[in-house]
Amino acid sequence: MPELPEVETVRRTLENFILNKKIEDIKILYPKIIDDDQEEFVQTLKNKTFKEIDRVGKYLIFKLEDVAFISHLRMEGKYQICKKGDILSKHDHVIFVLDEGMELRYNDVRKFGRMKLVDHDDYKNQLPLSKLGPEPFEIDYLELYQKLKKKNKAIKTVLLDQSIMTGIGNIYANEICYQMHLNPYTKANVLSKKRVKELVDVACEILNKAILQGGTTIHSFSANGIDGLFQVQLKVHMQKHCPLGHEIKKVMINERGTYYCPICQKAKR
């Protein structure tokens, strides 16, 4: 699933291609991708010009002159820039026909991605964005500490809770825990203020590194043909051994595949 660095890579890549391009038409080949009335979605965006692309957590916000829509890539969604007349893939579900002979195509093998019209200026206070917590780059560690004190759950599970802190998914949660030498089963409410500050610092460090490398290529993630390189720096996720040579263990925590080193991330009694 694309996480914050992957979505940021998509945002930056698309900015180079679609800003100031006008939507001449929209072809919706799989209507469930659109959370609004299909006809309303098309008519609202048609003949509008892309002016800006914002990102909140794992959501992209496409801003046109006076309207906007959000897009969540979910498991395997991606955008591709194509020329008019290029052969359609069977997984191309929404086609934005642009001027100058271009098309912006939303491709999604699993069809889990969603798009929704939102207010141009107040989208952060509308659902689903209003339910999201701050990003690691924005959160105050004391605020996070107070949130974690109320969570008697495994820290790995809490890191994936987007209402507490948004943008971190399974891959980076595993990497954050490893860099902190933090056992993923550790209850969130036992972390000290010092450890919570470290958590925020480490999360920002890892996410920033991943953004600089274009994200992580796992399975089919690609930002218009630009593959992320951070996968070469992963310490535990989908690895057999940690950097110190210890065998990595894979377990399920709250139904999510969790990779950790039992030696480096030994549980504290």
Instruction: Tell me how far apart the alpha carbons of residues 136 and 113 are, in angstroms, rounded to a whole number.
Output: 24
Per-residue pLDDT of 49-71, as tens digits, reads 999 999 999 999 999 999 999 99
Which pLDDT band, with edges at 50, 70 and 90, does 219 fall under?
Answer: very low
What CATH architecture is 4-131?
A: Alpha-Beta Barrel (3.20)
Which pLDDT band, with edges at 50, 70 and 90, does 269 fall under?
Answer: low
Tokens of 252: 């399920």
**Alpha helices of 117-246 — where are they, by DSSP H?**
141-148, 155-159, 170-179, 193-212
- Per-residue pLDDT, 83: 95
- Per-residue pLDDT, 126: 95
Q: State the pTM of this model.
A: 0.89
Residues carrying CATH 1.10.8.50, the chain: 141-260
Residue from 224, 226, 198 nearest 212 by CA:
226
Residues carrying CATH 3.20.190.10, the chain: 4-131
**Overall average pLDDT of the 177-203 stretch:** 98
Close Cβ partners of 259 (under 8 Å, ≥ 6 residues apart): 174, 236, 237, 238, 239, 248, 249, 250
**Overall average pLDDT of the 123-141 stretch:** 96
**Alpha helices of the chain — where are they, by DSSP H?**
4-18, 38-45, 141-148, 155-159, 170-179, 193-212
- Per-residue pLDDT, 216: 55
Which pLDDT band, with edges at 50, 70 and 90, does 233 fall under?
Answer: confident
Is the pLDDT higher at 21 or at 10? 21
Point out the residues that are catalytic: 2-3, 58, 256
Instruction: Tell me how far apart the alpha carbons of residues 82 and 84 are, in angstroms, rounded to a whole number.
Output: 7
The CATH number given to 141-260 is 1.10.8.50
- Per-residue pLDDT, 227: 47
Using DSSP's 3-state secondary structure scheme, residue 27 falls into: strand
* pLDDT of 221 higher than 50: no
Residue 152: Cβ within 10 Å count:
11
